[in-house]
Structure 1
Amino acid sequence: MANVCQVCGKGERSGFNVSHSHLKTKRTWKPNIQKVKAVVEGETKTMNVCTRCLRSGKVQRAV
């Protein structure tokens, strides 16, 4: 499953772990993506959606 929200486009971000001695190593932050059944234009569709979009009501879950 791709780590991209199909609603807002939120995806993987990169940056550094920084130690006490200020050594830097690459790392990534992944969004909390859930596979949900949602109502899109009147029909049920399976989508990959981040939890921020689910919580804020941008996606209507199918019953």
Structure 2
Amino acid sequence: MAKACEICGKGSMTGSNVSHSNKKTKRKWKGNIQKLRAMVDGKPTRVKVCTQCIRSGKIERAF
């Protein structure tokens, strides 16, 4: 199951943990993806959407 937004495509980002001695190890940042019911083609459907898309009103919630 991919952890990515179905609207904007936001997913995981990779980078490095950097210690005080400047040693680097790989790490991952995960997007804040929520499962919710939204209206898709006039029908309520469960979708995975990031919180920025929810807050900006890019989807229509189905209650």
Shorter-chain TM-score tier: over 0.9
Aligned-CA RMSD value = 0.8
Structure 1 residue aligned with 2:39: 39
Equivalent-residue separation in structure 2 for 1:2 and 1:46 (angstroms) = 14
Given the two structures, how large is their TM-score scaled by the length of structure 2?
Answer: 0.94
- What's the secondary structure of 1:28's corresponding residue? strand
Q: Which runs of 5+ in 1 are unaligned?
A: none
Equivalent-residue separation in structure 2 for 1:2 and 1:38 (angstroms) = 18
Equivalent-residue separation in structure 1 for 2:59 and 2:2 (angstroms) = 18
Equivalent-residue separation in structure 2 for 1:2 and 1:27 (angstroms) = 18
Given the two structures, how large is their TM-score scaled by the length of structure 1?
Answer: 0.94
Structure 2 residue aligned with 1:29: 29
Q: Which runs of 5+ in 2 are unaligned?
A: none
Q: What is the count of residue pairs matched by the alignment?
A: 63
Post-superposition CA distance 1:3-52 (Å, at most 9, x none): 10000000110000001110000000000110000011211110000001
- Could you list the structure 1 runs, at least 4 aligned residues long, displaced by more than 2 angstroms after superposition: none
Percent identical among aligned pairs is 57
